[in-house]
Amino acid sequence: MEPDAITVAEQALTLGEGGTGAAQPVPVASAFSILRVILTLALVAVAIYGIVFFIKRATRGNTSQDPFLKILGSTPLGTNRGAYIISVGSRAWLVGAAENGVNLIAEIEEKDVLDAMLLEDSRKSAETPAGHLPDFKAILRRLGMPVESDAPSPENIRQRSKRLKGL
């Protein structure tokens, strides 16, 4: 059996600088390099944990721990500006918040309006557990839309179709 050209080329191949054809030993990982890899992985894990912690903290919302001090309503008025209705017990105030501070706008003295806001706040807190976002039905209920609707009947669909064609 005659050796083919590939076998001859492999035998003639020199490995390493010595040209002896023997493979050089692979250096064993030192304790320092292993420690460096472990520390790098630990830093990455701590960074991921920190990012998750801050995201959870930012999305948690403003849940007040004081049952007597409540924000009954708020509306944004622009960048870093808003109006808030704050109640303490049976009294409420309309305040404006901006970058430079918080200013009292008016005291809400109408008992009926205040009672309606307190009732809405208690209903909203009963529907939504602390720290959780409301579900879609709760949002629709708050907007005054019917929530418990059945599937439309064929007659109802025909009426809607006629109404849309008339537009």
Query: What are the domain boundaries of the chain?
Result: 30-60, 69-142
Question: Given this model, what pLDDT does residue 72 score?
Answer: 81
pTM of the model: 0.39
- Tell me the per-residue pLDDT of 14-27, one tens digit each, with 9 for 90 and over: 665 555 555 556 56
DSSP line for 93-151: EEEEEETTEEEEEEEE--HHHHHHHHHHHHHHHHHS-TT----HHHHHHHTT---S-PP
- Show the tokens assigned to 58: 């930012």
The model's confidence at residue 116, banded by pLDDT at 50, 70 and 90, is confident
Nearest to 105 by CA among 114, 117, 92: 92
Cα distance between residue 109 and residue 149, in whole Å: 38
